[in-house]
């Protein structure tokens, strides 16, 4: 297992490439200018903004995870479920100010309850520290910067003085922090500084430091200023060939050009749990962004699991199921926890993780 993780780390750092593995790109850099621009917040299908009829038609191929819940759980009987969650737009609503993307107390309680029964991870484009500050739970994995900064849940250990303290450990007893883009930090800090100086006069533009990636938010930028903003960002990146530019929801994302994304993070976390090669594992991944598609692809390739997209209008996706908005995510998580609690075949979290209670 650890040899596999080490090989993935080498591959992510550019030391080797697998000749038989298809390289999966995040799929956020190939958007047309119309899809990136501030006005295009709604998906476009056949040249027209999607409506209720189109959404209903789309849901035929991406049925509601709430409507399908009973059948999904029937198929999950006797299998090990591992839960993966995006943050913005999934656990919290999309808001104009990214610093105000708070999750509700009800959502926090639901995630806490789910984590009692299943290994649970949040994989976000935010910095790990920032998303942990939003979520405020200690019994889950946090993967920030699109999976480039992963921390395991803390577990109590005994110190040399006989006292207990809490740290995050891997199976060899080392602190479990995984950061495949560590060497890019100096350049990221330079990019961050240059961006802040370049866009400070563009009203509504905002630069966010997400540790191993940089986000440029333009949700509040005027339409006529968007082209200027995009050009400034691109002109800075010309001097940093080891980085690439992608787009999310009203945000430009600057990331190191390594083969590591949310899909790789999902695989790494399954490996860390000792479940990477198990055939009885069902990953459940819920997310709303294009970057979550990499995780959906991994689940699709595994041939089992539940990729669930959060979408209020039709969109191209590899997800098998859908939820309309964070309120439906809340309902789904509550039902999932209740199902496991009521299941006579449930196993404790310590049994699933292979750690002492």
pLDDT digits (tens, 9 = 90+) for 1-55: 444 444 444 444 443 333 333 333 323 333 333 334 444 444 444 444 446 889 9
- 16: Cβ contacts below 8 Å, ≥ 6 apart: 7, 10
Q: How far apart are CA 56 and CA 54, in angstroms?
A: 5
The answer to whether 58 and 240 have CB atoms below 8 angstroms apart is no
User: What's the pLDDT score for residue 172?
Assistant: 56
Residue 104 has pLDDT above 70, yes or no: yes
Confidence of residue 249 (pLDDT cuts 50, 70, 90): confident
User: What's the pLDDT score for residue 53?
Assistant: 86
166: three-class secondary structure by DSSP: strand
End-to-end CA distance of the chain: 23
Q: How far apart are CA 350 and CA 357, in angstroms?
A: 6
Q: How far apart are CA 352 and CA 357, in angstroms?
A: 11
Rg of the Cα trace of the chain? 20
pLDDT in tens, 163-205: 444 445 555 555 568 899 999 999 999 999 999 999 999 999 9
User: What's the pLDDT score for residue 174?
Assistant: 52
pTM of the model: 0.76
C-beta neighbour count of 325 within 10 angstroms: 15
User: What's the pLDDT score for residue 262?
Assistant: 96
Set 52, 61, 86, 288: catalytic member: 86
pLDDT in tens, 108-150: 999 999 999 999 999 999 999 999 999 999 989 999 999 999 9
Q: What is the DSSP string of 48-117?
A: EE--HHHHHHHHHHS-BTTTTHHHHHHHHTTSEEEEEE--BTTTB---SSGGG-PPPHHHHHHHHHHHHH
Mean pLDDT to the nearest integer, 81-97: 95
Residue that the structure tokens 């009521």 belong to: 342
Please give the share of the chain, as a percent, with pLDDT higher than 90: 66
pLDDT in tens, 252-279: 999 999 999 999 999 999 998 889 889 9
Confidence of residue 327 (pLDDT cuts 50, 70, 90): very high
User: What's the pLDDT score for residue 154?
Assistant: 59
Q: How far apart are CA 232 and CA 294, in angstroms?
A: 28
The answer to whether 5 and 271 have CB atoms below 8 angstroms apart is yes
User: What's the pLDDT score for residue 153?
Assistant: 65
Mean pLDDT to the nearest integer, 275-301: 95
The answer to whether 164 and 158 have CB atoms below 8 angstroms apart is yes
Distances (CA, A) of 76 to 300, 333, 340: 16, 15, 10
- To the query of whether residue 86 is one of the catalytic residues in this protein, the response is yes
């Amino acid at each position: 297992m650890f040899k596999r993780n080490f090989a993935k780390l080498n591959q992510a750092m550019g030391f080797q490439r697998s000749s038989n593995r298809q390289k999966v790109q995040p799929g956020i850099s190939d958007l047309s200018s119309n899809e990136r621009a501030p006005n295009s917040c709604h998906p476009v299908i056949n040249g027209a903004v999607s409506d209720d009829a189109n959404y209903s038609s789309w849901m035929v191929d991406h049925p509601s995870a709430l409507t399908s819940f009973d059948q999904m759980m029937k198929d999950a009987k006797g299998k090990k479920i591992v839960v993966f969650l995006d943050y913005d737009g999934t656990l919290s609503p999309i808001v104009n100010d990214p610093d105000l993307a708070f999750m509700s107390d009800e959502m926090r309680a639901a995630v806490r309850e789910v984590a009692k029964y299943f290994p649970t991870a949040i994989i976000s484009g935010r910095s790990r520290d920032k998303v942990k500050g939003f979520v405020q739970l200690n019994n889950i994995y946090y993967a920030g910067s699109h999976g480039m900064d992963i921390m395991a849940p803390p577990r109590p250990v005994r110190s040399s003085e006989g006292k207990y303290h809490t740290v995050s450990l891997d199976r060899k007893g080392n602190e479990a922090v995984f950061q495949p883009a560590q060497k890019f930090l100096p350049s990221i800090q330079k990019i961050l500084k240059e961006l802040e100086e370049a866009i400070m006069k563009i009203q509504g533009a905002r630069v966010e430091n997400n540790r191993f990636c940089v986000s440029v938010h333009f949700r509040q930028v005027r339409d006529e200023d968007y082209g200027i903003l995009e050009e400034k960002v691109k002109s800075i990146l010309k001097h940093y060939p080891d980085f690439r530019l992608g787009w999310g929801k009203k945000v430009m994302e600057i990331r190191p050009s390594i083969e590591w994304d949310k899909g790789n993070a999902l695989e790494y976390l399954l490996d860390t749990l000792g479940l990477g090669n198990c055939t009885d594992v069902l990953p459940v991944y819920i997310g709303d962004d294009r970057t979550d598609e990499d995780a959906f692809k991994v689940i699709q390739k595994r041939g089992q699991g539940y990729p669930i997209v959060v979408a209020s209008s039709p969109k191209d996706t590899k997800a098998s199921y859908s939820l309309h908005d964070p309120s439906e995510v809340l309902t789904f998580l509550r039902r999932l926890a209740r199902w496991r609690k009521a299941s006579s075949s449930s196993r404790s979290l310590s049994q699933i993780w292979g750690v002492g209670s």
